Structure 1
């Protein structure tokens, strides 16, 4: 297999894209079968169940047609990226059908499905209390398989070993690029399922109901943030249940490959992981700063101590659950949470943001620059992150992702300011969408102008695939040029 860099000079092959998209349709049909069963048992309107049945039928027909496109070639990296982008474009549109049947306007239905599949958790729909179980379950279920990475979950079962599934869903763990796609994905699915089951069991042991436990944990392990009630954590009967969900989001915000390494090699990989250390440090520091900020603006000390750690963990893991309305926070706390959301969780986790590892690379680069100022001109200093020597490509890729994130946020924030929204609140919600968090100061709602809903949908798409897949998708040489024959 050629190197990824050289493969980008070959245009994608539509026949190969179609073949693997057909395999994806089969996987999506199986995932929707779960939702169909729940709708048959709980849906108050038979049309909802029928819509899921028609979706499954349509996906199966697409699979039957596209599987006839026989291919023997290996997939190029740009083809994998195009397929990833295509998947995340198609799924939200398909899943709007049951919402349209429920008389939800198209733009709100699309916003809801984009938010679900990208594990964001923002919603323009009013109160959840009157919604049927099938509605809250379908949102949580979409977040669950969106967090796992639709592309990894589907392609891992059909793509030949040799192309790392980690890159396909922006889960590019730098030290885990050896295994084949299927082997890696099986490990990820097992880890993801164990984390989900563990969270549900702990929820039940601590006195939570099975229904809410499933809904909360499906959204928590995917760091999605959709709660079955409008008040999120504020509606829970016991604070211990909020911490069960929070611990599950923390587990989901760590690199999924790390759990397999720990199981295989003992605690050493866990103790040596630089992202875990930084995650703990950031949460502790931000919790202290947010607590002090809330207290300095008049919030009682006991209230600040109660809410600050829950809100910080939710922002840092990009989960989006909330124990209080973010609109009620003081400006200092909002700015701190914006920073937490922007950074996000670990590379190879279900969290959003530009990731802890890339922050570490940036800090290493700054440290290297300072060190070069105090040594002789011809001295060669290696840039090291933990035990890993950083190559030029590592630094370049990290800086590019950070720059693209910040650029997307600035360009998306300006229209909100032009519409007259408070600049700080607008920045908070734009960062929340781009980092796939789901916290909102109240700007996101049914009365949000349609163009701004579209802006946030684009932000959620960009954040889920970290902009890279979209750059390749819209790059003209991806589609036009010489194609590899074999």
Structure 2
């Protein structure tokens, strides 16, 4: 039987995973600054997990130094396994901080941190305003970093240009290039991200939001994360200007970085030609009209939640008990938005608009092929890029996988007695990395459904295939 995964493959994975562990340790330690500023204490709760991550990563790299592993031998399978394990490790380290600081159990801590790193925004805490400011910033910082991707952060800071950078970049469901070099592409994305972050903080502050609130909500909005530091989320402020700023940041987060690059360069014509941006605007207008006029929601409430769902952010301006009482029609539209998502190459989740467009176009091209005279050549392009059978099949296969995993978790919630439509809403929110909730997610949610939603968030962020590659690799390793 052919071996797809060998011992050397795990050595390659270990080397780069060690680097990610070091980076995660440094990232989580940054929030101790807030603990010091506000004199919150509990410093060991940050220091111990951080040192554990840095020390473990360093030890792995030292051990593997005796093996000649160069970046040029890394393949896509290695990148996918590294990314999958890297996100699990980041979740574990963040969970350890919450366990030490707040004295909560592992599953709840892991849920909160997986939700943070994957930019989902579902929370087990019913009273986030009672949480220490350092923990609030930790949640927001995880989302801000997770919006770009844990591995991409490492590429931009610690890894030199080459094959390794390219494979790792693709492992986090990214393929777009702004610059010829992947490392330069990542650095350009970083500068765009930081620029928008500064802009968001300034806009929120001008609107009357306190600085600490502005930093946290900018981190969450731009990363399409959805964590808030208020119990009533963005609705706490009762301010239409803040709602509009939030919608702007959510839309920016859900837009491809290639479009942002063109916009900042002043190439407005290229921006307007982007098929995903055109589709996003169309969906926002269409679904907003449907919700406002058929669902009987107020205009601001309807538009805000469509943007929040489609961008996969998860901010809300309505209390959970109000959302639970929404008509089934409204919930179904928002489920569709959460599943669709916005652009590839953005910070958003969901299936992504480009896949949806490819599937719809593929069906259309097949109909034209059947109707056309035999031997006719049917041009197949999206935004000037030629589309072949492989791209269409990949988009269709991903949609099928996406629905299968949603169905499994939905079935688990149904087995535990939760209402069907609300359960589907919760699963769509988790796997789409959105964060809107029908009140099912809480600290009291049974362990099995909670683990199922953790898995949904994980596969949703990495787009399923890397997780399946990791699982298959582990199975092969244990067979020997």
Give the TM-score, by structure 2 length. 0.92
| Alpha-carbon separation, structure 2, partners of 1:103 and 1:344 | 35
SS at match of 1:321: coil
Tell me the distance in 2 between the aligned counterparts of 1:135 and 1:63.
24
Cα distance change of structure 1 residues 199 and 452 upon mapping to structure 2, 3 Å threshold: same
- Paired residue secondary structure (1:373): helix
Counterpart check, 1:190 vs 2:186? no
2:336 match: 339
Choose 259-268 or 182-191, whichever is displaced more: 259-268
Residue aligning to 2:57: 63
Q: 1:72 to 1:268 in 2, by over 3 A?
A: same
Which residue is 2:471 aligned to? 474
Q: Report the structure, 1 or 2, having the larger helix content.
A: 2
The 5-angstrom pairing of residues 66-105 of structure 1 reads 66-68=60-62, 69-70=64-65, 71-74=69-72, 75-101=74-100, 102-105=102-105
Aligned 8 A contact 1:78 1:478 in 2: no
Match of 2:170 in 1: 167
* Shift in Å, 1:123: 1.1
Q: 2: distance between equivalents of 1:308 and 1:172?
A: 33
Tell me the equivalent position of 1:51: 45
Shift of 1:28: 1.7
Does the 8 A contact of 1:125 with 1:445 survive in 2?
yes
Structure 1 residues 254-273: aligned runs within 5 Å: 254-264=255-265, 266-273=267-274
Residue 34 of structure 1 and its aligned partner are, at CA, apart by 1.4
Partner of 1:3: none
Q: Which stretch shows the higher mean deviation, 366-375 or 469-478?
A: 469-478
Report the Cα offset of residue 63 of structure 1.
3.4
1:8/1:478 contact within 8 Å kept: no
Query: Is 1:19 equivalent to 2:15 in the alignment?
Result: yes
2:128 aligned counterpart, secondary structure: coil
The range that moved more, 425-434 or 28-37, is: 28-37
Residue correspondence of structure 1 range 114-263 to structure 2 within 5 A: 114-156=114-156, 157-162=158-163, 163-164=165-166, 165-173=168-176, 176=177, 179-263=180-264
Query: Deviation at 1:159?
Result: 4.9
Matched positions, count: 464
CA contact (8 A) 2:50 2:93 kept: no
Quick one: distance in 2 between partners of 1:281 and 1:290?
Answer: 14
Name the CA distance, whole Å, in 2 between partners of 1:148 and 1:246.
Answer: 19
TM-superposed deviation, 1:23: 1.6
User: 1:134, CA displacement in angstroms?
Assistant: 1.3
- Alignment partners' CA distance in 2, 1:106 and 1:125: 14
**8 A contact 1:8–1:78 mirrored in 2:** no
Residue 10 of structure 1: CA displacement? 7.4
Distance 1:177 1:80 in 2: 20
Q: Is the 8 A contact 1:43 1:134 kept in 2?
A: no
**In structure 2, what is the equivalent of residue 328 of structure 1?**
325
Q: Which has the larger displacement, 408-417 or 15-24?
A: 15-24
Distance in 1 (CA, whole Å) between partners of 2:392 and 2:266 is: 28
SS at match of 1:95: helix
Q: Evaluate the alpha carbon distance shift between residue 19 and residue 366 of structure 1 in structure 2; reply closer, same or farther with a 3 A threshold.
A: same
Tell me if the contact between 2:292 and 2:302 (Cα under 8 Å) persists in the aligned partners: yes
The 1:58–1:220 alpha-carbon spacing in structure 2 relative to 1, beyond 3 Å, is same
In structure 2, the CA distance between the partners of 1:63 and 1:421, relative to structure 1 (3 Å rule), is closer
* Residue in structure 2 matched with residue 34 of structure 1 by the alignment: 30
Partner of 1:299: none
Shift of 1:73: 4.4
How large is the Cα RMSD of the aligned pairs? 2.1
| Matches of 1:275 and 1:448, distance apart in 2 | 37
Counterpart position of 1:349: 346
Residue aligning to 1:316: 310
Call closer, same or farther: CA 1:142–1:432 in 2, change over 3 Å: same
Query: How far apart, in 2, do the equivalents of 1:187 and 1:383 lie?
Result: 31
- State how far apart, in whole Å, the 2-side matches of 1:119 and 1:134 are: 18
Mapped to 1, the partners of 2:133 and 2:173 lie a distance apart of: 32
Q: Find the aligned partners of 2:385 and 2:169 in 1 and give their Cα distance.
A: 19
The answer to whether the Cα contact below 8 Å between 2:128 and 2:231 also exists between their aligned partners in 1 is: yes
Q: Is the 8 A contact 1:113 1:139 kept in 2?
A: yes
Q: Secondary structure at the match of 1:443?
A: coil
In terms of mean alpha carbon deviation, does 435-444 or 12-21 score higher?
12-21
Change (3 A) 1:190 1:73: closer
For normalisation by structure 1, the TM-score amounts to 0.91
Mapped partners of 2:255, 2:107: distance in 1: 33
